[in-house]
């Protein structure tokens, strides 16, 4: 029963974590910006684990998962291992790069619980699907995608 409750809470939290609204129409096309890596949360850890060279966080067209983000969320949740939390709340931030080729690379999850971070990285690595890459001026670019994950015991 505890496992089911924990799984339901995790899936519910994941659904909110991925709820990113994007406007259907853009009024002005802003050029993509190369990120200032020093301003990223967890920069010290990320620079050790991810190649941030030439990465953008905004693009004319963001990367697309085949079947949409709802399918991505479902696949991620299906692959996510249930973690038994010792504390009340676990916060994890998952980072990955959608390469110019459309494949996911440079995956890193940073958390206050190493088991949860490892499970998030493993779940993402199991999704072996090619994305439509992000585009800037109709050219594919490396795009840094990140999302939060939270697990809370009640």
Tens digits of residue pLDDT in 66-85 = 999 999 999 999 998 877 76
Average pLDDT, the chain: 79
Residue-level pLDDT at 47: 82
Q: Is the pLDDT of residue 40 over 80?
A: no
The pLDDT of residue 12 is above 60 = no
Two structure tokens written together for 72 = 């991505």
Q: CA-based angle 135:139:142, to the nearest 5?
A: 60
The model's confidence at residue 35, banded by pLDDT at 50, 70 and 90, is low
DSSP H helical ranges for the chain: 2-17, 43-49, 69-79, 114-125
Domain that holds residue 52: 2-152
For 123-136, give the DSSP string.
HHHT---PPBPEEE
User: Would you say 100 and 108 are in contact if contact means Cβ atoms under 8 Å apart?
Assistant: no
**pTM summary value:** 0.73
Higher pLDDT residue, 40 or 146? Answer: 146
What was the pLDDT predicted at 22?
A: 47
Specify the number of domains making up the chain: 1
d(CA 102, CA 84): 33
């Amino acid at each position: 029963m505890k496992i089911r409750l924990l799984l339901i809470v995790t899936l519910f939290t994941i659904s909110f974590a991925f709820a990113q609204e994007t406007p259907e129409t853009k009024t002005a096309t802003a050029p993509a910006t190369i990120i200032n890596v020093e301003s990223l949360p967890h920069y010290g850890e990320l620079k050790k684990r991810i190649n941030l060279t030439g990465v953008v966080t905004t693009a004319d067209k963001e990367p697309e998962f085949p079947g949409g983000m709802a399918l991505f969320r479902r696949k991620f949740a299906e692959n996510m291992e249930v973690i038994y939390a010792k504390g009340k709340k676990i916060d994890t931030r998952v980072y990955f790069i959608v390469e110019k080729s459309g494949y996911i690379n440079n995956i890193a999850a940073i958390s206050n619980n190493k088991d949860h971070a490892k499970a998030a990285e493993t779940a993402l690595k199991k999704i072996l699907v090619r994305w439509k890459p992000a585009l800037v001026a109709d050219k594919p670019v490396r795009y840094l995608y990140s999302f939060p994950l939270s697990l809370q015991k009640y």
